[in-house]
């Protein structure tokens, strides 16, 4: 039976990245210069109690299809997509992959898990 709640494996090439792995990618001198964080939550969530990852770019999921052209400047970079819990960001990662972005990661657990690990976020 098909499990509609399981996201891994549904679209080839979308890797799940845990908060600690993402944090290492962002602070690593050799990798950090090549990683971009796209936050697909709504503006009130981005500024809300969970905050957001420093230097992340806010593009709500509902606007992502309209903004894909603007993101083409990141096609040669690793993109880490984040949301509240990891579901919307997975959908966003699929959209980016379908538009030819090669290195797209979904932040597993989203900002909830990021905060649970005690990682810094901006308000």
- Please name the helix (run of DSSP H) or strand (run of DSSP E) that holds residue 23, with its range, or none: helix 19-27
Q: Report how far residue 98's alpha carbon sits from residue 4's, in angstroms, rounded to the nearest whole number.
A: 20
Q: What is the full per-residue pLDDT of the chain (123 aa) written as tens digits?
A: 444 444 444 556 689 999 999 998 887 666 556 789 999 999 999 999 999 999 999 999 999 999 999 999 999 899 999 999 999 999 999 999 999 998 999 999 999 999 999 998 887
- Please name the helix (run of DSSP H) or strand (run of DSSP E) that holds residue 107, with its range, or none: strand 104-107
Task: Name which of 111, 123, 104 is nearest 25 in CA terms.
Answer: 104
Residue 7: predicted pLDDT: 47
Residue 88: predicted pLDDT: 97
Residue 2: predicted pLDDT: 40
Q: What phi, psi does 119 have (nearest 5°)?
A: -80, 150
Residue 43: predicted pLDDT: 98
> Domain residue spans in the chain?
15-116
- Decide if 83 is catalytic: yes
Which pTM was predicted? Answer: 0.86
Residue 9: predicted pLDDT: 45
Active-site annotation holder among 35, 53, 59, 83? 83
Residue 17 in tokens? 């990245």
> Is 12 within 8 Å of 102 (Cβ atoms)?
no
Q: Which CATH code, of 3.40.250.10, 3.20.20.70, 3.30.70.100, 2.60.120.620, is assigned to 15-116? A: 3.40.250.10
Residue 33: predicted pLDDT: 63
């Amino acid at each position: 039976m098909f499990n509609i709640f399981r996201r891994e494996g549904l679209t080839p090439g979308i890797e799940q990245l845990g908060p600690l792995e993402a944090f290492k990618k962002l602070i690593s001198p050799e990798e950090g210069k090549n990683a971009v964080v796209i936050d697909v939550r709504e503006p009130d969530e981005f500024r809300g109690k969970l905050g957001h990852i420093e230097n992340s770019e806010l593009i709500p999921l509902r606007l992502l299809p309209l903004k894909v052209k603007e993101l083409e400047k990141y096609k040669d970079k690793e993109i880490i997509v984040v949301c509240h819990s990891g579901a919307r960001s997975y959908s966003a990662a699929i959209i980016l992959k379908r538009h030819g972005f090669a290195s797209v990661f979904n932040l597993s657990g989203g900002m909830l898990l990021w905060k649970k690990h005690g990682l810094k976020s901006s308000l």
